[in-house]
Structure formats: C-alpha cells, structure tokens
Amino acid sequence: MRFVRRLAASCVLAASLSLVSSQAAAQFGGFSLPSIPSGAKPRTDGCPKGKTKDAGSAILGDFLGQRINRAASASGVSRFIPSAEFADTLTNAIACRLDPEEQKQAAEATVQATRSDAVGSTASWTSNTRENVSGTSTVTARNTESASAAAGPRECITVTDVIIVNGEETTASKRMCRAPGAARYTLAA
C-alpha cells in the first residue's frame, strides 16, 4: 500500500510540474535547451575571445545569452560588426569595438594621416554616437619595397591605431601599401 501511495504521489508531482512548465513556456516564449558546444573555436578576427567553458556553464550561458540577445534585439542594441566598406583601411581588432559610424570616423582618420609623407603624421577623431570613445591614427614607419620588375616599387607604411572605449585602450599596428600610381594606401596582406 505504501508503494502505491508513493507511486501516486510521484505521478501527481510529475503532472503538476508538467502543467507549470507548460504555463511558464507559454508566458515566456518557450524553453529550449541549447546544444552543448563541441569545443572552443579559435577566432581570427582580432576581437577578444572568451574563456573555454565546461558543458554545464556552456548550457547555462547559452540559455541566458539567448534571453539577453532577444531582449537586446528588441530594444535596438546590436553588436558591432566590422564593416566590409572599411576592410581595406581598418583592422578587425579595432573595427569590432566600434559602431558603424565610429568605423567610418576611424577610417577617415587613417586616410587623413596617410596623406602626408611624414612619419609621425597623426589624425584624431571623437565619436559622434557614443561618449568616451575616441581614437588616433599615426604613421609610425615608412619603407619602399620592390613588388615586381614590371610594376616597380611600392610604398609601404606602418600605421598605429589607438582607440579608447570607456577608458579601455586598444592599440593595433597595420601595414599599408600603395602601388605605383595608386591614389591611397590600403591594408597589405
């Protein structure tokens, strides 16, 4: 008899939990269990990479991340994605920390700094969209390298970009070259 009571109590409990979870799912848009990531994937875009997580924290982090991303999307907040428009001027390490308007300002500063032939030429900018965001582009070195006998030598420079986002400084150096007859410098491979 005792066994039957326990079995009946377990069934009632399971049914109650099922009912509560379905009501909660209806109210909050459903509960989905995210898949467990197979492992950390290396990032090559220059943006910071988080720590490798164990399976439990990955599940909880993905679950909470989905909810936060859904709320952020609804409120108009977005991630900063490097714009292809400035891929020949900005490095990903800098671009991924800037919104699209700031990427444009940083690219314009780089172009302005590279117009001069002098090492030490600098151009600065301050964000029009966010407080406490600014940057500089400075030509830190210049050299000439031979590209090919037919094309002739190309001019190359090193430009150091420094951005400050909410007091955090990020520095990235980039090599930029200008082919003979080209109007401006672009990122070199």
pLDDT in tens, 54-101: 666 666 666 666 666 566 545 444 446 556 667 778 998 899 899 999
38 within domain boundaries: no
Dihedral (CA of 17, 18, 22, 28) sign: positive
Structure tokens at 153: 């030598």
CA distance 184 to 177: 8
Average of per-residue pLDDT across 21-49: 49
101 within domain boundaries: yes
43 within domain boundaries: no
32 within domain boundaries: no
**b/e string for 112-151 if b means 16 or more Cβ within 10 A?**
ebbeeeeeebbbebebeeeeebbbbbbbeeeeeeeeeeee
Structure tokens at 165: 């986002």
Which of the two residues, 151 and 136, has the higher pLDDT score?
136
Burial grade of 44 (CB within 10 A; 0-12, 13-18, 19 or more): exposed
29 within domain boundaries: no
The per-residue pLDDT for 87 is 77
Contact 174, 139 (CB under 8 A): no
**pLDDT tier at 43, thresholds 50, 70, 90:** low
97 within domain boundaries: yes
Contact 106, 118 (CB under 8 A): no
Burial grade of 71 (CB within 10 A; 0-12, 13-18, 19 or more): exposed
> What is the span of the domain harbouring residue 106?
84-187
How many structural domains is the chain composed of? Answer: 1
> Does the pTM exceed 0.85?
no
Helix (H, G, I), strand (E, B) or coil at 84: helix
pLDDT above 50: residue 24: no
Angle at 122 between CA 128 and CA 97, to 5 degrees: 45
168 within domain boundaries: yes
The per-residue pLDDT for 33 is 44
Which residues does 29 contact at the CB level (< 8 Å), separation at least 6? 70
